């Protein structure tokens, strides 16, 4: 605001408008007056602080610090294109008028306060009107910084620097400087401010006193303002100005010395926190390449170095986001809060991802991690690779620990060691423990060791062996080669070669080419045994068949028990086809009735 003390007669040429008078159409001004409810002993005008507002939005002035009996507002100047009507100034409350700008630019209003004796005092206030580009919902206003206060010489140049202003969203900023107050007798106006719409403004003081320079900073949606104060003296010399500047610097240094200690080549920070900030207003705001702590030189190799609030140790690093740590050589952090803490050519590319050493590793899933090893990748949410070479965890929560060429591609699956093992499919919770080229394709299934084994049934297990497949629910294959459980659940094969357990609860223990396809059927050793009936059993021998309920074949060659509860023991080509019949030994023996015994 600018203060002027006037007599009432001196203002006789100024057009004014009382609360009940119409505004002359050609006046270009909107003055209003109002009689206060109380008479004051002495008039004192205080138009309040300058304002900034948007076109078409109300701006509230505050002149309540004024005293007097009569108050008159006069619009001294307005931007080109302002369409001023009778209601442009609402003086229903004379000390709290409401204004609604209709054009972009600077409006200057004068308040005249007069007492009962006719003595008057005047003060002015400025309103900067801006054009909003969009709604401010969700927008963070900029932060204005008019720079440090200072001193200057009359006739010299004083510079105010608002380049430290910033915007959290990285929006472009515009600047507008005005004099908030001038010393008595100064003839300066806002037009005397050089660079008025730039980040740095200059003016030449014409009298001794205090100059207040206010900057309005806008991001096109919202605004902020700040004031820099400069003082001059009629007797000031260049030496005195420099002395004032030195005194300000000494005060600043003394503040630093209270927490900083230098001893030899060491610097200590005591009793204070050290903040390194980008100036964006928040840790996770738009990055600008500032606010990082760099230990060493971080030599450039054509890398991107545009992030903020990162800790960088080593050289040839890429850092393009915020809140991360990168250590080692030629590593990359491009996800928010990502970290690479050792090694070379490692990459952490998603939020919260990390690589802890090794070579050529990549953590590209959100919150994924790779711990050491080489050429490994954790590419999905919270996936983990711990050591090894060429391992991949490519599903949510999947993990690989050591080994080579392993791929955990199912959700929450894990591979522990071994080479070229794989979990895949739509299920989850699969595991492979060691071995070579083993695969798990069903939920909660497991392969432990061996080679080329597969657990393809839910909750199925293969332990060791070669080319075995546990393909039915909750089935088990332990050792051997080419053994298969399929079709029904809970079957088991223990060793042997080419055996099959396809019946529910069926079991094959050793031997070769044996099959237990009946419910609860079992084959123990031998070659080519077929336990096809429920609860049937074959023990040893070759080519034996037990096809009826609870039938049993023990040893021999091509023997068959096809009657319920039949038993054939040893011999060759024997056939027991009647219930409860028994054949012991012989060649080509048969039964002719139930419960018959042939030997």
What is the tens place of the pLDDT at every residue in 285-307?
Answer: 899 999 999 999 999 988 899 99
What tens digit of pLDDT does each residue of 497-532 get?
999 999 999 999 999 999 999 999 999 999 999 999
The answer to whether residue 184 scores a pLDDT higher than 80 is yes
Q: Do domains 2-130 and 150-251 have the same CATH topology?
A: yes
Q: Which long-range contacts (CB under 8 A, 24 or more apart) does 495-499 make?
A: 495/465, 496/525, 499/523
Q: What's the chain's average pLDDT?
A: 87
- Widest distance between CA atoms in the chain: 149
User: So what's the pLDDT on residue 432?
Assistant: 98
CA atoms within 13 A on the CB side of 29: 17
User: So what's the pLDDT on residue 446?
Assistant: 98
Q: Is the separation of the CB atoms in 485 and 460 below 8 Å?
A: yes
Buried/exposed code over 344-362 (b: 16+ C-beta within 10 A; e: otherwise): bbbbbbbbbbbbbbbebbb
The answer to whether residue 575 scores a pLDDT higher than 60 is yes
| CA 278 vs CA 142, 170, 219, 287, 322: distances in Å | 14, 12, 18, 8, 10
User: So what's the pLDDT on residue 369?
Assistant: 98
Ordered by start, the domain boundaries in the chain are 2-130, 150-251
Q: Closest by alpha carbon to 536, among 544, 526, 524, 546?
A: 546
What tens digit of pLDDT does each residue of 206-249 get?
999 999 998 988 887 788 889 999 988 766 566 666 776 777 67
Q: How many CB atoms lie within 10 A of CB 592?
A: 9
Q: Kindly report the CATH number that applies to the domain delimited by 2-130.
A: 2.60.40.10
pLDDT band of residue 88 (cuts 50, 70, 90) is low
Q: How many CB atoms lie within 10 A of CB 416?
A: 18
Pairing of strands 446-448, 461-463: parallel
Q: What single DSSP character describes residue 473?
A: T
Distance in angstroms (rounded) separating the CA atoms of residues 421 and 432: 7
Distance in angstroms (rounded) separating the CA atoms of residues 382 and 394: 10
Q: Could you tell me what percent of the chain has a pLDDT over 90?
A: 60
**Which range among 15-29, 168-182, 400-414 has the greatest average pLDDT?**
400-414
- The C-alpha angle with vertex 93 and arms to 30 and 60, in degrees rounded to 5, equals 75
Buried/exposed code over 393-415 (b: 16+ C-beta within 10 A; e: otherwise): bbbbbbbbbbbbbbbbbbbbbbb
Reduced to 3 states (helix: H, G, I; strand: E, B; else coil), residue 589 is coil
Q: Closest by alpha carbon to 50, among 178, 223, 231?
A: 178
* Ramachandran bin of 217, using left for φ above 0, alpha for ψ from -120 to 50, beta for the remaining angles: beta
- The C-alpha angle with vertex 370 and arms to 365 and 376, in degrees rounded to 5, equals 90
CATH number of this structure's domain 150-251, picked from the four choices 2.60.120.10, 2.60.40.10, 3.40.47.10, 3.40.50.300: 2.60.40.10
Q: Closest by alpha carbon to 447, among 506, 458, 435, 490?
A: 435
Which carries the bigger pLDDT value, residue 245 or residue 571? 571
pLDDT band of residue 24 (cuts 50, 70, 90) is very low
In sequence order, the 6+-apart residues with CB closer than 8 A to the CB of 137 are none
User: So what's the pLDDT on residue 92?
Assistant: 61
Pairing of strands 119-130, 105-114: antiparallel
Q: Closest by alpha carbon to 28, among 94, 96, 74, 97?
A: 74
Distance in angstroms (rounded) separating the CA atoms of residues 93 and 19: 10
User: So what's the pLDDT on residue 449?
Assistant: 98
User: So what's the pLDDT on residue 201?
Assistant: 94
The answer to whether residue 156 scores a pLDDT higher than 90 is no
In sequence order, the 6+-apart residues with CB closer than 8 A to the CB of 41 are 67, 115
Report the length, in residues, of the chain.
599
User: So what's the pLDDT on residue 566?
Assistant: 97
What tens digit of pLDDT does each residue of 523-537 get?
999 999 999 999 999
In sequence order, the 6+-apart residues with CB closer than 8 A to the CB of 13 are none
Q: Closest by alpha carbon to 297, among 313, 321, 310, 284?
A: 313
The answer to whether residue 579 scores a pLDDT higher than 80 is yes
User: So what's the pLDDT on residue 121?
Assistant: 93
pLDDT band of residue 258 (cuts 50, 70, 90) is confident
User: So what's the pLDDT on residue 34?
Assistant: 43
The answer to whether residue 429 scores a pLDDT higher than 70 is yes
In sequence order, the 6+-apart residues with CB closer than 8 A to the CB of 197 are 174, 175, 176, 177
pLDDT band of residue 32 (cuts 50, 70, 90) is very low
User: So what's the pLDDT on residue 94?
Assistant: 79
What tens digit of pLDDT does each residue of 581-594 get?
999 999 999 999 99
The answer to whether residue 394 scores a pLDDT higher than 60 is yes
User: So what's the pLDDT on residue 91?
Assistant: 53
- The C-alpha angle with vertex 196 and arms to 73 and 28, in degrees rounded to 5, equals 30
Among the residue ranges 15-24, 165-174, 203-212, the one predicted with the least confidence is 15-24
**Full-model pTM:** 0.63
- The C-alpha angle with vertex 437 and arms to 435 and 438, in degrees rounded to 5, equals 70
């Amino acid at each position: 605001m600018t203060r002027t003390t006037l007599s009432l007669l001196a203002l006789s040429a100024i057009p004014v408008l009382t609360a009940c008078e119409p505004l002359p159409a050609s006046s270009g001004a909107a003055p209003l007056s109002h009689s206060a409810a109380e008479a004051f002993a002495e008039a004192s005008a205080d138009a309040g602080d300058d304002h900034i507002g948007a076109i078409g939005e109300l701006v509230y002035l505050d002149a309540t610090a004024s005293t007097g009996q009569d108050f008159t507002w006069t619009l001294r100047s307005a931007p080109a294109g302002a369409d001023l009507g009778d209601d442009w100034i609402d003086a229903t409350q004379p000390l709290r008028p409401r204004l609604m700008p209709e054009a972009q630019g600077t409006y200057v209003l004068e308040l005249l306060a007069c007492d009962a004796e006719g003595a008057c005092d005047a003060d002015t206030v400025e309103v900067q009107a801006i054009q909003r580009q969009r709604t401010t919902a969700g927008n963070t206003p900029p932060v204005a910084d008019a720079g440090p206060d200072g001193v200057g010489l009359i006739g010299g140049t004083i510079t105010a620097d608002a380049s430290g202003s910033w915007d959290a969203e990285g929006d472009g900023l515009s600047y507008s400087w005005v004099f908030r107050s001038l010393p008595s007798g100064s003839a300066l106006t806002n037009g005397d401010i050089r660079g008025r719409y730039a980040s740095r403004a200059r003016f030449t003081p014409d009298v001794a006193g205090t100059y207040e320079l206010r900057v309005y900073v806008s991001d096109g949606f919202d605004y902020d303002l700040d004031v820099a104060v400069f003082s001059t003296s009629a007797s000031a010399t260049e030496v005195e100005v420099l002395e004032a500047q030195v005194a300000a610097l000494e005060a600043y240094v003394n503040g630093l010395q209270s927490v900083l200690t230098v001893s030899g080549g060491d610097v200590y920070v005591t009793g204070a926190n050290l903040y390194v900030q980008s100036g964006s207003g928040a840790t996770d705001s738009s990055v600008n390449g500032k606010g990082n702590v760099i230990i060493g030189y971080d030599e450039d190799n054509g890398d991107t170095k545009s992030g903020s609030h990162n800790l960088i140790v080593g050289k040839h690093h890429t850092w393009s986001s915020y809140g991360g740590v990168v250590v080692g050589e030629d590593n990359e952090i491009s996800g928010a809060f990502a970290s690479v803490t050792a090694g070379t050519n490692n990459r952490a590319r998603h939020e919260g991802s990390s690589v802890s050493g090794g070579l050529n590793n990549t953590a590209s899933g959100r919150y994924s991690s790779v711990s050491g090893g080489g050429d490994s990748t954790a590419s999905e949410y919270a996936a983990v690779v711990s050591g090894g070479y060429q391992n991949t965890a490519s599903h949510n929560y999947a993990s690989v620990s050591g080994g080579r060429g392993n791929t955990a591609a199912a959700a929450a699956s894990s591979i522990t060691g071994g080479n070229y093992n794989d979990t895949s499919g739509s299920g989850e919770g699969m595991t492979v423990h060691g071995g070579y080229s083993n695969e798990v394709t069903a939920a909660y299934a497991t392969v432990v060791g061996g080679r080329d084994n597969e657990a393809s049934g839910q909750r199925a297990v293969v332990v060791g062996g070669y080319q075995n497949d546990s393909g039915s629910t909750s089935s088990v294959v332990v050792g051997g080669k080419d053994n298969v459980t399929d079709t029904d659940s809970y079957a088991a094969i223990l060793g042997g070669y080419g055996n099959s357990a396809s019946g529910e609860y069926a079991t094959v223990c050793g031997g070769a080419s044996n099959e237990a396809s009946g419910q609860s059927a079992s084959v123990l050793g031998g070659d080519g045994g077929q336990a096809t009936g429920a609860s049937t059993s074959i023990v040893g021998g070759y080519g034996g068949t037990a096809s009826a309920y609870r039938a049993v074949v023990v040893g021999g060659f091509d023997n068959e028990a096809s009657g319920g509860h039949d038993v054939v023991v040893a011999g060759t080509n024997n056939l027991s086809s009647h219930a409860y019949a028994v054949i012991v030994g012989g060649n080509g023996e048969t039964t002719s009735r139930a419960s018959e015994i042939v030997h």
